[in-house]
Chain A
């Protein structure tokens, strides 16, 4: 059996490399009985299509950014609530706390979660020095969904709609002056050509997840399932380690290319913490009891 596995990000991205390795390992361990073929760079289905494609069986397996699915269910947004989990350790805890709820929602949609790997923490890119949230007032801030628009609003920045494909041009021409994104985005787009400051605020650590269609999953015998799960577990560990290693590497690269890379000032961190509280309260209203249970579990963890 052959499983085509659509991946949204470029072949050289560590998520794609990791998933490709996972695919090869499964193929090898099953002696080719289950061959998984990775298709990176959106070459099979593009990011926005992958969730639906896996759900309807057009592709048996695929990878998607979890928080992109927030409109499906608020639980998918949990890893992008600003300033809730702001380190790899916290992000891991939040993942463990939210996993049962996540799996439950996915199962209802006919899907099984194989593994999830984070992106490097989200930092604040801005074209001037920022010491407190008030410095963001009037700054044109990239908004690409409801949450980032709300975040801009709370910082009293100007939410500016820019699509991913237009980021570089928008910064070059001054359409936008600031955004929150991971170090990798800035590195990939050579953002230092346009922006000079990166504050390591670690706003959130969004994750990609690898999903498999339940019908396809149930079509495997138990032995094969065990192999896939084992390799998925290995891919998850590998991915988390790689993300942490890269987070530092990206930071160094940004600095090396002339950007001022700095932790947030105490005031800025405190201001952001407060904004985070507001946004979490708003999220809890949408997510209801299920969301509250996850947050409680997370906050109860040591």
Chain B
């Protein structure tokens, strides 16, 4: 049982890391799209939809990185109460926070998936010159939000099982400046 859980934990963490790496790729893609929009203008060319593609890449990058950022302790919160409390009270507050986070990240993921589905059914297209079927870029958001929901529920269960409130974020908890 224990081995199974450890294995699952490791597999989930690999998913977050992988999604984070893909997100980084989209950030590079965003830079390339923006660079291309300067270069093509200098060359007097019109490439349909570069602006839209930049936006899609940015959104994909932000959402696919959600879970990875969550595990690395990169999402911020008001830690005042958490740091003032100790023992059982502190544990209870952390469980409450993770519970709320789980509810709303699942809620978000659910509706982003639904939005993507509706776009697909309606055949919704971008209003811009790119005329991209919207379900394509939206599925990156839906996927990112889903992995984030997974990470929140995962963190909740892990905290309950280990009784250690730092366990979900032990991946590497460096703050950005240090």
Interface set of A (CB-CB < 8 Å, partner B): 48, 51-52, 55-56, 68-72, 109, 143-146, 149, 152-153, 158-161, 163, 175
Contacts and interface: CB of A to CB of B under 8 A. Distances in A.
A146 B126 contact: no
Given A55-B122, A56-B118, A158 B44 contact: yes
Q: Is the interface of A mostly helix, strand, loop or mixed?
A: mixed
Given A149-B46, A160-B41, A71 B127 contact: yes
A48 B52 CA distance: 12
Given A52-B124, A175-B41, A160 B129 contact: no
A175 B41 CA distance: 9
Nearest to A72: B125
18 contacts: A51-B127, A52-B124, A56-B118, A68-B127, A69-B127, A70-B127, A71-B125, A71-B127, A72-B125, A145-B129, A146-B48, A146-B129, A153-B46, A159-B46, A160-B41, A161-B46, A161-B50, A175-B41
B51 interface: yes
Interface size class of B (residues with CB under 8 A): 10 to 19
B35 interface: no
Contacts of B127: 48, 51, 68-71
B131 A149 contact: no
Contacts, number: 42
Nearest to B46: A159
B70 to A, nearest CB: 27
Contacts of B124: 52, 72
Nearest to A110: B122
Interface in B14-62: 37, 40-41, 44-48, 50-51
A161 B125 CA distance: 20
Contacts of B50: 161
B128 interface: yes
B40 to A, nearest CB: 8
B22 to A, nearest CB: 26
A175 B86 CA distance: 59
